Amino acid sequence: MTMTQADAAVDRAAQALASGALAILPTETVYGLAADAADPRAVAALFQAKGRPRFNPLIAHVADLAMGRRVGVFDERAVALAQAFWPGPLTLVLPVADGDAVCDLARAGLDSVAIRVPGHPIARAVIAALGRPVVAPSANRSGRPSPTTFADALEETGVFALAALDGGPCAVGLESTVVALLDDPRLLRPGAVTREQIEAVIGPLAEAEDDARRSPGRMARHYAPQAPVRLEAAAPEADEAYLAFGPGAPEGPRVFNLSPTGDLAEAAANLFAYLRAADRTAPRAIAVAPIPTHGLGEAIDDRLRRAAGFVG
Ligand code: TXA
Ligand code: MG
């Protein structure tokens, strides 16, 4: 695409959103299905398209911190985290500042709001062109793995979108880290920005003991392929597909190595695409190798446990 074609595509997506329609947008984490955050009818259509329960609130995506401040109340900790990690894969849950900027339905009626500045320039360009926040859940149908390629996003929810922008494969491949700053800082969803990185800026994070209540979207079975998922598998059994990790793994037509060198960032970027690829082989189950749980491994482990249908 030439620059002008890209600009025209950004404008068309912004116009689609302004007219109340949905748009597929690339972000650095996963593809999102976007709607104008201030438009309750568009947001209702978004919940409908995903088959998403309405008690599960959405993330407001903003172009920059200034737009974020129109939506949520930033204390010192929030400003420090925004300055450290935005644009990028960190979502902050803050007290709501303007309940109309991100409509009630988008917040599932809560008096808090989730906000992030996406790292992908195309997403930021569309939000800037619209001039106000967009809500953008992952572009999968509810409960399925998040799409990390344009083709996967179109397959999941393309039929519901009036515009769709191809930003290439998602560099991160896992959804943003969600941190609540309502009282003590809490990690609601591990993600690409690690616990260690956040604690280096604002100090210790409390655990979200009851995370289903505090982050309503955190259902036990989520990110799930069609086949059952079996974790901590040293090797595949008959008729199983296998997600391997690291050197010396078995090879075969149904084996997908998340990172032959044992690199967690590479494994994260490949995770959802390889779950889908494994699923396409129609296996009896998808076995998954043990993966370290430090750093980025915490988020990979979280997604795998939910894909398997249980939460630790
Ligand atoms: O990386 C991402 O965050 C992607 C891309 C597209 O930006 N989006 C995404 O959105 O993962 P979604 O809707 O799939 O996940 C939003 C998460 C859910 O777990 C939801 O419950 C939580 O954020 N959330 C949103 N608002 C909240 C709030 N006010 N309090 C607690 N949790 C909230
Ligand atoms: Mg999602």
Q: Are residues 95 and 178 in the same domain?
A: yes
Residue 278: inside a domain, yes or no? yes
Ligand found nearest the CA of 210: 1
Residue 211: inside a domain, yes or no? no
Q: Are residues 38 and 171 in the same domain?
A: yes
Render each residue's pLDDT in the chain as its tens digit; 312 residues.
666 778 899 999 999 999 999 999 999 999 999 999 999 999 999 999 999 999 999 999 999 999 999 999 999 999 999 999 999 999 999 999 999 999 999 999 999 999 999 999 999 999 999 999 999 999 999 989 999 999 999 999 999 999 999 999 999 999 999 999 999 999 999 999 999 999 999 999 987 665 544 555 556 667 788 999 999 999 999 999 999 999 999 989 999 999 999 999 999 999 999 999 999 999 999 999 999 999 999 999 999 999 998 654
Give me the CATH number covering residue 142: 3.90.870.10
Does residue 69 line the site of ligand 1, with CB under 6 A? no
Q: 115 C-alpha vs ligand 1 centroid, how far in Å?
A: 9
Does residue 71 line the site of ligand 1, with CB under 6 A? no
Q: Three-class SS string for the chain?
A: CCHHHHHHHHHHHHHHHHCCCEEEECCCCCCEEEEECCCHHHHHHHHHHHCCCCCCCCEEECCCHHHHHCCECCCHHHHHHHHHHCCCCEEEEEEECCCCCCCCCCCCCCCEEEEECCCCHHHHHHHHHHCCCEECCECCCCCCCCCCCHHHHHHHHHHHEEEECCCCCCCCCCCCEEEECCCCCEEEECCCCCHHHHHHHHCCCEECCCHHHHCCCCCCCCCCCCCCEECCCCCCCCCEEEEECCCCCCCCCCEEECCCCCCHHHHHHHHHHHHHHHHHCCCCEEEECCCCCCCCHHHHHHHHHHHHCCCC
Ligand found nearest the CA of 53: 1
Q: Are residues 151 and 257 in the same domain?
A: no
Q: Which domain holds residue 50?
A: 3-202
Q: Are residues 191 and 262 in the same domain?
A: no
Does residue 217 line the site of ligand 1, with CB under 6 A? yes
